[in-house]
């Protein structure tokens, strides 16, 4: 879409929620993207702002802005989805750490979006659409990483494989290890953070925070084990993080909760007062992933760190080769 469109709600859509209407008409629009569009007033019903759960009425006019996508939705006819360009193919190939007949395992760069959104025309989900033209079936994401988090991410080549791995990732049979550089020094140096989280909405994006009394119905239990590997005085520390649950922003919110936000984290205070020479980028990397392969055997993949974290390690005197999980 290159211009604002207006759609009239039909009789059989009377009473339908706005987010459901978008799922039917624009399946490529994720819930997070729609939330951003409604929060900023780009999507409106009539002349008024609405929330995603707004109930539509017959005859309502829905304002739909230009959507930032360069590919058709996942369920579009195969012939309508363009194959990967040479540039896109090279980008995807540069990320591959492991490939077999069932899965890809990638090292996602920091700053590269998993899904599309405003001003995001190139993203991992889009690459998978184009790859599906060649493979005959679109590969599917098994789990996700934040845009600014780098590291290991798993892609299933077929829906049946995605279903099998999805159940596995929902259990505790997948071992995830993240490396992060945080402000200050955790006290104690290692431990368990068992703090339920709740989403806090704001004009500049969603954040997660510790739930409070009376919010039990909306909270999500979140557990993270952490271990301090090295310290740079009292200014910064290199930590290993092992999440036991997979909540949105879990590691970022948990490290902020114990008073040591991740360096460069602009949602949780890690971007304030950075030392000279330290990049103002999120210092969180999905370092290692271990899980049973659907056909048997064990997958154990480690992703090299991004350049900005390597530079920070050098600046702070951390030795990345001293520890490997």
Look at residues 271, 301, 259, 323 and name the one whose alpha carbon lies nearest to residue 104. 301
CB 222 within 8 A of CB 197: yes
All residues at 6 or more sequence positions from 20 whose CB lies less than 8 Å from its CB, including other chains: none
The reply to whether 146 belongs to the active site is yes
The SS3 call for residue 132 is helix
d(CA 289, CA 106): 11
Name the catalytic one among 60, 125, 146, 265: 146
d(CA 215, CA 67): 35
d(CA 248, CA 225): 16
Burial-class residue 298 by CB neighbours within 10 Å (0-12, 13-18, 19+). exposed
What residues are paired with 244 via a beta bridge?
Answer: none
d(CA 105, CA 110): 16
Angle 86-95/124-135 helices, nearest 10 degrees? Answer: 100
Angle 31-39/18-25 helices, nearest 10 degrees? Answer: 120
d(CA 87, CA 102): 24
d(CA 309, CA 181): 8
Residues annotated as catalytic are 146
């Amino acid at each position: 879409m290159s211009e604002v469109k207006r759609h009239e709600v039909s009789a059989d859509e009377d009473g339908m929620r706005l987010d459901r209407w978008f799922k039917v008409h624009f399946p490529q629009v994720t819930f997070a993207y729609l939330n951003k569009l409604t929060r900023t007033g780009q999507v409106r019903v009539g002349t008024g702002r609405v929330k995603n759960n707004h109930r539509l009425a017959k005859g309502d006019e829905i304002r739909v802005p230009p959507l930032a996508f360069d590919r058709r939705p996942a369920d579009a006819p195969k012939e309508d989805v363009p194959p990967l360009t040479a540039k896109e193919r090279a980008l995807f190939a540069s990320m591959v750490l492991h490939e077999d007949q069932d899965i890809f395992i990638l090292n996602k760069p920091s700053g590269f979006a998993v899904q599309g959104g405003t001003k995001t025309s190139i993203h991992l989900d889009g690459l998978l659409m184009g790859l599906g033209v060649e493979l005959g079936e679109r590969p599917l994401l098994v789990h996700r990483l934040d845009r600014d988090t780098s590291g290991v991410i798993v892609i299933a080549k077929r829906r049946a494989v995605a279903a099998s791995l999805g159940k596995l990732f929902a259990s505790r049979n997948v071992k995830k290890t993240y490396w992060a550089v945080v402000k200050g020094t955790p006290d104690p140096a290692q431990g368990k953070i068992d703090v339920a989280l709740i989403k806090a909405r704001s004009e500049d994006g969603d954040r997660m925070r510790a739930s409070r009394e009376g919010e039990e119905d909306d909270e999500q239990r979140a557990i993270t084990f952490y271990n301090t590997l090295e310290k740079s005085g009292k200014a910064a520390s290199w930590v290993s993080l092992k999440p036991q649950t997979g909540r949105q922003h879990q590691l970022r919110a948990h490290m902020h909760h114990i008073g040591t936000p991740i360096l460069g984290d602009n949602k949780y205070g890690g971007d304030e007062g950075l030392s000279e020479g330290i990049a103002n980028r999120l210092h969180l990397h999905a370092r290692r992933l271990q899980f049973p392969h659907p056909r048997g055997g064990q997958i154990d993949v480690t992703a090299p760190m991004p350049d900005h974290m390597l530079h920070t390690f050098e600046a702070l005197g951390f030795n990345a080769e001293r520890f490997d999980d």
